[in-house]
A = this chain, B = another copy of it.
Amino acid sequence: MTSSRLEAFSDGVLAIIITVMVLGLAEPAGTGWADLVRSSGLGLLTYLLSFVYIGIYWNNHHHLFQLHPPVRGRVLWANLHLLFWLSLFPFTTGWLTESRVALVPTVVYGLNLLAAALAYYLLEIAITRMPGGERLRAALGRDMKGLLSPVLYLLGIGLAFVVPWLGLVPFVAVALMWLVPDRRVERFLDAHPDTSADATDDE
């Protein structure tokens, strides 16, 4: 079995998460610019941040399955585990906004980022342990950004205890860092064009 249905399902879930967050945007109470900024300004910024994060996960997810690893039970559940944490973004983003970036909601947002990063890492392990997964491991190489991200999330959680707003700085920094897309798999495929076929073909 190939990974196409798993990708389609994940795409669906990610597409809904990214879109459903906009439903949480409070409509301005009045009809002026000041009302827009006061009621929805912060909400638009946190929506943008979470939108970028979901975009990053979609982007990387897509790279992870680009080599079409065989998909079995363990990978299916590791994938659902990742989707579970990502599906909480509308909730944690909403609370962060509603609280005007209070301490606990900022920490909870950081924990959500941390849990999603961990789940992604577990999914990566589950895939690379499948037969044929060595190719993906080789393609990924040393994942500096993947190692740095949780450290920065922890830093953000720590900074939130000083000033809650400060905790968002590392969260934004990680997002910017990942906006530069992950070229590793693409580079590997360019260098090893013969391995781009289905994993089952050449193992």
Contacting residues, chain B, for A95 (C-beta < 8 A): 27-28, 36
Evaluate contact between B87 and A40: CB separation under 8 angstroms. no
Evaluate contact between B76 and A181: CB separation under 8 angstroms. yes
> Is A13's CB within 8 Å of the partner chain B?
yes
> Is A179's CB within 8 Å of the partner chain B?
yes
Stretch at the interface among A17-25, A136-144, A150-158: A17-25
Contacting residues, chain B, for A83 (C-beta < 8 A): 18
Bound-state CA distance A98–B104 (Å) is: 24
Q: Which of B8, B36, B104 contacts A11 (CB 8 A)?
A: B8
Give per-residue flags for A52-91: 1 if the beta carbon is below 8 A from chain B beta carbons, else 0: 0001001100100010000011101100100110011011
Contacting residues, chain B, for A84 (C-beta < 8 A): 48, 51
Contacting residues, chain B, for A90 (C-beta < 8 A): 22-23
Evaluate contact between B40 and A72: CB separation under 8 angstroms. no
Bound-state CA distance A27–B23 (Å) is: 14
Evaluate contact between B72 and A186: CB separation under 8 angstroms. yes
Q: Which of B11, B16, B31, B91 contacts A40 (CB 8 A)?
A: B91
Evaluate contact between A94 and B32: CB separation under 8 angstroms. no
CB-nearest residue of chain B to A99:
B31
Known: A11-B8, A99-B31, A181-B76. A19 touches B17 (CB 8 A): yes
Evaluate contact between A20 and B18: CB separation under 8 angstroms. no
Contacting residues, chain B, for A122 (C-beta < 8 A): none
Q: List 24 A-B contacts (CB under 8 A).
A: A1-B66, A5-B62, A8-B8, A9-B11, A12-B15, A12-B16, A15-B16, A16-B19, A18-B87, A20-B20, A25-B91, A27-B91, A27-B98, A32-B104, A33-B104, A51-B84, A51-B87, A55-B77, A59-B73, A59-B76, A73-B180, A73-B181, A73-B182, A77-B179
Closest 8 CB pairs of A and B: A73-B181, A12-B15, A31-B102, A16-B19, A31-B99, A55-B80, A13-B15, A9-B11
